[in-house]
Amino acid sequence: MKKIVFASVFFVLTGCFSAKLIPPTQGDVERVQSKFPNYSLAELSEGKTLYEQHCRSCHGLKKPSARTEEKWGEIVPKMAVKANKKYPDSLNADSQEKILKYLITMSSAPRAK
């Protein structure tokens, strides 16, 4: 019973402290075309979905703009290893790449005023 209560409190708090992620747009894709040729809005959106599904399961989500491209490049591989230890084979190389591209793309998005 204590485990159920703890898990419920954890998921409620995780949801409260997670970043509200803005939906990606074609403008975001166009902004990074030189970095990611042939990148599509569908791939960017899938990266967002994967980020929300996999990263939220262990901790609150960070806004992509909270880290630089270089920092996300360090964090994502390390977190993928941790996720795959906890949930074996949950993040394959393709999923990891989509998450990283999403975070890099959105980390450079113009900030709303």
Best CA proximity match to 76, nearest among 44, 103, 58: 103
- pLDDT value of position 18: 60
Residue 6 in this model has a pLDDT that exceeds 80: no
Share of the chain above pLDDT 90, in %: 62
Q: Which two tokens stand for residue 7?
A: 């898990």
- pLDDT value of position 103: 97
* Cβ neighbour number for residue 112 with a 10 Å cutoff: 5
**Any alpha helices (H) in the chain, and if so which ranges?**
2-17, 26-31, 41-50, 69-86, 93-107
Q: Which two tokens stand for residue 89?
A: 């084979």
Per-residue pLDDT tens digits for 40-90? 999 999 999 999 998 888 888 999 999 999 999 999 999 999 989 988 888
- pLDDT value of position 48: 97
d(C-alpha 17, C-alpha 3), whole Å: 21
